[in-house]
Amino acid sequence: FGCQRLIFSFSLRGKLGRYPPWPGKIVNPPKDLKKPRGKKCFFVKFFGTEDHAWIKVEQLKPYHLHKEEMIKINKGKRFQQAVDAVEEFLRKAKGKDQASSHNSTEEKNRRNSSEERGKQSAGEEKRKAVLSEGKLKKATGEGKKRVSSVSSDRGSKSPLKRAQDQSPRKRGRPPKDEKDLTIPESSTVKKVMTGTVAGFKWPPSVGEPVKDSDPHFHHFLLSQTEKPAVCYQAITKKLKVCEEETGSTSIQAADSTAVNGSITPTDKKIGFLGLGLMGSGIVSNLLKMGHTVTVWNRTAEKCDLFIQEGARLGRTPAEVVSTCDITFACVSDPKAAKDLVLGPSGVLQGIRPGKCYVDMSTVDADTVTELAQVIVSRGGRFLEAPVSGNQQLSNDGMLVILAAGDRGLYEDCSSCFQAMGKTSFFLGEVGNAAKMMLIVNMVQGSFMATIAEGLTLAQVTGQSQQTLLDILNQGQLASIFLDQKCQNILQGNFKPDFYLKYIQKDLRLAIALGDSVNHPTPMAAAANEVYKRAKALDQSDNDMSAVYRAYIH
């Protein structure tokens, strides 16, 4: 690309089609960031986002040559804002170049004037020396010497000249507002991580070649999104453990994904029970990362796809547990979780000393505590690890894992958590993760009901629902969740990404959690009633955004 540093990035084809192109700038990576192996690639900062990625050369196209074409294809506001950011960058660069050119011209004129005066002075000294009586030969020698000296002086670099020779590196620095870019991190991670992990600054020279460095840092890649208007997300993988003041631990992603296969899978045999919306994406990512996985599902036909991808088939939960070192499970509710463990040919029948069981279902603390007790009573090890996310995040390996229980088992699951999620938190004793997960989903479910309520109120008062969404997307509430769920409603597309019946179940359990400690949850209770109304309208198996229909019927 030479000096052409502005580009459009065209990433690989994914499950939902080709990733949308996005304008970016080729920059030097942080000094502690290792370049991935394989094909030649550049480190790209994307305009209009806080994202950065290693992008292969064949996926980059010059910005100026493809600008008009890309603007015609992409009509999203986020994309237009990114293009505007590029143009603003170009205007600033042009202004600096003009100022630099003006200063350079003045300096050149001053230097030429100084050299001309130097030449005149040297010529005068030479004539005087040649005309001196009785010293012609010596004068001639000194004349030669002085001419040589003058020539040498002109050939050497003055301090000013040396500074000018070095100035292109200074001019190559990013503008001040782009220089100190840091990886976005949670407040928890910022408190506990130091050194290069806590943040970084871009090196001053963006014109120098990209160099390999410390492998223990972040590799960023683009995540797949359904709409070009939605910002890219950084996918981060390799886990690092850090202690919080409260005693909880977060495992924060710090390397790369299946695209370059940098995760080293555990040599333990992995089992997985339950291939629903979340479980299917999790198993797919475990297989992509090279794990040995045995699967089981109540509806056996769902296993076929994963068998084709290299998974092994388990005939019963007990068989999976008995043949695997660590068995994960992800089912719908407390009853399903209990039946899976305690039922005929269930998990408990396969447990013996040393066997590990990780329950990723979103259930109440009492249920998960009961399951932990029966597993441990047979000599097994237990970890609860419910996940925050949806089907798309599960497919992308971007889940957030909340774990509690056996700390050693949590660490043994490291490569598995890398494969399925971007971040994992260890929250201490069994039951803590279940409580935290219910609180998270309570907030999410209540927010979704409020979004639906606002859109219907806009409609009945004669306001544009699209305009309301545009306003929200420009304010403090802007998020991928808000945009996606509003788009579902505006398009009437309620294909499940998170089942409505499950968010209602989580609200019910969160309200019960509040009751157990005599804590009021009036907002969640109100939202729960709206979801119950939506279920009565046969919306249970639709996406949670179908709660909108409870307001229009």
Burial category of 492 from C-beta neighbours within 10 Å (exposed 0-12, middle 13-18, buried 19 and up): exposed
pLDDT in tens, 114-146: 555 555 555 555 555 444 444 444 444 444 444
Does residue 387 surpass a pLDDT of 60? Answer: yes
Q: Which residue has the higher pLDDT, 259 or 507?
A: 507
pLDDT on residue 68 = 80
Does residue 257 surpass a pLDDT of 80? Answer: no
The H or E element spanning position 103 is helix 77-130
Contact 480/230 with Cβ under 8 angstroms?
yes
pLDDT on residue 75 = 63
Which residues does residue 44 pair with via DSSP β-bridges, in sequence order?
26, 53
List C-alpha distances in Å: 47 to 24, 50, 53. 5, 8, 12
Q: Which residue has the higher pLDDT, 389 or 104?
A: 389
The architecture that CATH gives domain 437-550 is Orthogonal Bundle (1.10)
Q: Which residue has the higher pLDDT, 150 or 457?
A: 457
Does residue 226 surpass a pLDDT of 70? Answer: no
Q: Tokens in use for 168?
A: 């292109």
pLDDT on residue 219 = 27
Phi, psi of 391 (to 5 degrees): -60, -45
Does residue 250 surpass a pLDDT of 60? Answer: no
Does residue 494 surpass a pLDDT of 80? Answer: yes
pLDDT on residue 7 = 66
The average pLDDT across 298-310 equals 94
As annotated, the residues of the chain forming the CATH 2.30.30.140 domain(s) are 6-97
The average pLDDT across 236-262 equals 41
pLDDT on residue 180 = 40
pLDDT in tens, 325-339: 999 999 999 999 999
- 3-state SS, residue 279: helix
List C-alpha distances in Å: 127 to 104, 147, 151. 35, 12, 17
| b/e 322-351 (16+ beta carbons within 10 angstroms → b) | bebbbbbbbbbbbebbbbbbeeeebbbbbb
Please report the DSSP string for 125-159 in residue order: HHHHHHTSTT-HHHHHHHHHHHHHHHHHHHHSPPH
Model confidence at 459, pLDDT cuts 50, 70, 90, reads: very high
- 3-state SS, residue 275: coil
Instruction: Average the pLDDT over each of 72-86, 263-277, 456-470 and give the range with the smallest value.
Output: 72-86
Homologous superfamily of 270-430 in CATH?
A: NAD(P)-binding Rossmann-like Domain (3.40.50.720)
Contact 132/139 with Cβ under 8 angstroms?
yes
Cβ count within 10 A of residue 458: 17
pLDDT on residue 81 = 80
Percent of the chain at pLDDT exceeding 70: 65
**Mean confidence (pLDDT) of the chain:** 76
Q: Quote the CA–CA distance of 84 and 48 in Å, as a whole number.
A: 8
pLDDT on residue 181 = 39
Which three-class secondary structure string do you get for 332-369? CCHHHHHHHHHCCCCHHHHCCCCCEEEECCCCCHHHHH
Phi, psi of 423 (to 5 degrees): -150, 145
Q: Which residue has the higher pLDDT, 107 or 224?
A: 107
Helices (H), 131-272: 136-155, 159-171, 176-179, 187-192
Q: Quote the CA–CA distance of 269 and 354 in Å, as a whole number.
A: 13
As annotated, the residues of the chain forming the CATH 1.10.1040.10 domain(s) are 437-550
Q: What is the dihedral of CA 138, 142, 147, 153, to 10 degrees?
A: 170
Instruction: Average the pLDDT over each of 14-18, 126-130, 529-533 and give the range with the smallest value.
Output: 14-18
Does residue 203 surpass a pLDDT of 70? Answer: no
Model confidence at 456, pLDDT cuts 50, 70, 90, reads: very high
pLDDT on residue 38 = 66
Q: Quote the CA–CA distance of 183 and 199 in Å, as a whole number.
A: 6
CATH 2.30.30.140 fits 6-97, yes or no: yes
pLDDT in tens, 162-197: 444 444 444 444 444 443 433 344 333 333 333 333
